[in-house]
Chains A and B, each alone.
Chain A
Amino acid sequence: MLEIENLTVEVAGKEILHNVSLSVKSGYTTVLFGPNGSGKSTLLMTIMGFSGYKVRSGRILLNGEDITHLPVNERAKRGIGMMMQRPPNITGVRLKDLVRVASKGKVDIAKIAEELDMTNFLERDVNVGFSGGEIKRSEILQLTAQNPCLLLLDEPESGVDMVSIEKLGAKVRELLQGPSHCAGWRERSGKAALIITHTGQILDYVEADRGYVMCNGTVACSGNPRELLAEIRKMGYQECIRCKLNQPNLVVENVASEG
């Protein structure tokens, strides 16, 4: 569904991503690990097409189509939806109005707001004065209305308290799997996700199929997400970096064999 090919990206005149390649298959959930500042958010922002993230080389393909230079709304139209780590405040625009236009009138806004404990926020200005957890719930509310085929989630669990994380995790799962719990259904529905997680907590709620580790603006490693997470918890990211430096060819093969 999504192919990132040798992507090099510059932000504010500085190269942040170097030759990044990865892929997300239709119906699969992929997680992206990596220490702070490694370029995870930059990658997602670039996939969504925000200006300020300048692609210097490489391509982004969505279902075979080169979307590297499409405007943001065209990417949304093709089914990409993103939860931003730090979305902007939009003073004067009420959340319910944004949710309504995102849904194109197709969903029961009151109901999904209720499910996410966001009813009281519908009349509030988008993100203005929202706490970290409230921003996540608001983003999921908007994404639920939008119902994208490819979900880009930037640290969905950070800043969210234990009670809310249940609801949030359930909603993400529902977005990916629909009403069914069967992995086969998810694969057939074609919904895919690329989820950034710093802590790996979200893996308690969604079934992930593949994991990548980013370090210093490159993909350091990829593999089974649970195994990667266990390794990172035990050894820290330092070990991933060291490992990559020692076996560069192995990682390249690893990426190449996915195609």
Chain B
Amino acid sequence: MASDEERRAREALRKAARFGDDIDLEAYSEGSRELAPVGSLEELPEDTKTTLLDTGIVPSGKGRAGNFLLMDNSVVHSAVMGEGVELMPLSQALKVHDWLKDYVWKAVRPDTDKYTAETYLENADGYFIRALPGAKVRMPVQTCLLLKDRNTKQYVHNVLIAEEGSELEVVTGCTTSKGVEKGLHLGISEFFLRKSSKLTFTMIHNWSEVIGVRPRTDVVMDEGATYVNNYVALKPVRSIQTYPTAHMNGPDGVCRFNSVAVAHPGSVLDLGSRAILNAPGCRAELISRTITTGGTVIARGQLVGNSAGIKAHLECKGLILSEKGVQIAIPELEARVPDVEMTHEAAVGKIAQDQVEYLMSRGLNEEDAVGMIVRGFLDVGIRGIPEHLKAEIDRTLQETDVRRG
């Protein structure tokens, strides 16, 4: 007999998402669940390893507490190297931990839209990560989501639990193998941060011009928890729509979302972040820096203040470097009690000519001056990023074509 949840998911199978182009799910073939396991990330083809490096994933696993690789719809590698942390496919974790069923599909609702509904009904696999109570996991866990087949629809369902007093860092790199002609990534992530835990989560998107991306992320935070979300998307992609949300349910929680993105010609990026401050003393800061060199960026942000004594700030800044580019900033503040301090700052426009000429007066040519200003602009959005990822991202930034069109 179908559960109530399942029935609602079925009903939602045609439900368009609130934001983003409606993607035809029938137009993709389901990615394989039968790919052969790989012994280590080093066994991957050289060009794949190179794109992994761009997304902050170290193929050798050196300096990492765990490795996880989902290729199309197959978990082909999962290994724990560090202490204090569990990492395994979600399907396996559900067998190991009886209690886990109380977490799955509790943060993200299966009937949110057609993408969550289909992912639910397909019983998608993904990673299960758990930082044990009190564990300060020294090295980051790295997870990689790879699209490999020519025409692939990837479903992912991730669950992460940071137990009371734990500290954990996770790096997720998303990328596409050479030769993929058409791809869709549907990724459900449910994070649970128990009392006084701390999670730093960095996601680097490095898909390609032919990929549609619809991640759905909800983060549930208990008292005193700290969540830092870094999101980096500097490479071309067809379409991304995402709106990760932190539900700050316990007092004195802290969350920060830092996002940087470049919309290349042909890319449509609909990127949001949301913090719902439900308990006293919670603080949130949502910062986004986006540029367009010809694509479209919609930078959304929402703060919802439901409790007295909260403090939150939202900042979306966008640069337009091309006549064809479009920047839309949509910051929203919603206060439901009087004693809140919520602010926002939004600005879109072209690069300031006085800044360009100031650098030119120091001898830089116009192109280098623009490059320096644009990289600086984006740099503000990634200052919270873990040190070990900085070099890779800086390199990608250096290579990013930011000439004014």
Contacts and interface: CB of A to CB of B under 8 A. Distances in A.
Interface of A: 48-52, 71-73, 75-77, 81-82, 84, 87-88, 90-94, 97-98, 101-102, 104, 125, 142, 146
Interface stretch (B179-187, B278-286, B377-385): B377-385
Interface string B351-391: 01111011111111110110011011111100000000000
Contacts of A51: 353, 357
A98 B354 CA distance: 15
B376 A72 contact: no
B357 to A, nearest CB: 5
A146 B375 CA distance: 22
Given A92-B378, A93-B372, A102 B355 contact: no
A16 B373 CA distance: 30
B360 A73 contact: yes
Nearest to B376: A92
A73 B378 CA distance: 24
B358 A92 contact: no
B372 A101 contact: yes
Contacts of A104: 363
Contacts of B376: 90-94, 125
B360 A76 contact: yes
A91 B380 contact: yes
A97 B398 CA distance: 14
Contacts of B366: 71, 73
28 contacts: A49-B357, A51-B353, A71-B360, A71-B366, A72-B357, A72-B360, A73-B361, A73-B366, A76-B361, A81-B361, A82-B361, A84-B358, A84-B361, A88-B358, A90-B355, A90-B376, A92-B375, A92-B379, A93-B372, A93-B379, A94-B376, A97-B372, A98-B362, A101-B363, A101-B364, A101-B368, A125-B376, A146-B362
Contacts of A97: 372
Closest 6 CB pairs of A and B: A92-B376, A93-B376, A72-B360, A73-B360, A102-B362, A92-B379
B362 A88 contact: no
A50 B361 CA distance: 9
A75 to B, nearest CB: 8
Nearest to B378: A92
A173 B81 CA distance: 61
Chain B interface SS verdict (over half):
helix
Contacts of B380: 91-92
Given A76-B360, A93-B379, 7 more contacts: A49-B357, A51-B357, A73-B363, A76-B363, A93-B375, A101-B372, A125-B376
Nearest to A77: B363
Interface centre among A71, A90, A98 (most CB of B within 10 A): A90
A142 B362 contact: yes
Contacts of B365: 73
A90 B360 contact: no
A142 B358 CA distance: 11
Contacts of B359: 90, 98
A78 to B, nearest CB: 10
B291 to A, nearest CB: 12
A92 to B, nearest CB: 3
Interface residues of B, number: 24
A92 B260 CA distance: 13
A76 B357 contact: no
A102 B354 CA distance: 17
B112 to A, nearest CB: 35
B361 A72 contact: yes
A128 B314 CA distance: 20
Interface in B266-301: none
A146 B357 CA distance: 15
A97 B359 CA distance: 11
Interface string B253-264: 000000000000
A91 B377 contact: yes
A146 B363 contact: yes
B364 to A, nearest CB: 6
A63 B352 CA distance: 31
A48 B360 CA distance: 10
Interface in B3-48: none
B357 A50 contact: yes
A128 to B, nearest CB: 10
Nearest to A86: B354
A134 B127 CA distance: 51
A94 B375 CA distance: 11
Contacts of A72: 357, 360-361
Contacts of A102: 362-363
Given A50-B357, A72-B357, A88-B354, A93 B373 contact: yes
Contacts of B352: 88
A40 B361 CA distance: 18
Interface centre among A101, A104, A125, A142 (most CB of B within 10 A): A101
Nearest to B377: A92
A184 B361 CA distance: 29
A27 to B, nearest CB: 23
A90 B365 CA distance: 17
Interface centre among B361, B365, B368, B375 (most CB of A within 10 A): B361
Contacts of B375: 92-93
B383 to A, nearest CB: 9
Nearest to A50: B357
Contact of B362 (A50, A71, A76, A92): A76
A82 B354 CA distance: 14
Nearest to B353: A51
A56 B299 CA distance: 43
Contacts of B379: 92-93
A176 B377 CA distance: 35
A50 B369 CA distance: 14
A147 to B, nearest CB: 10
A51 to B, nearest CB: 6
A75 B361 CA distance: 8
A51 B352 CA distance: 12
Contacts of B358: 84, 87-88, 90
Nearest to B383: A92
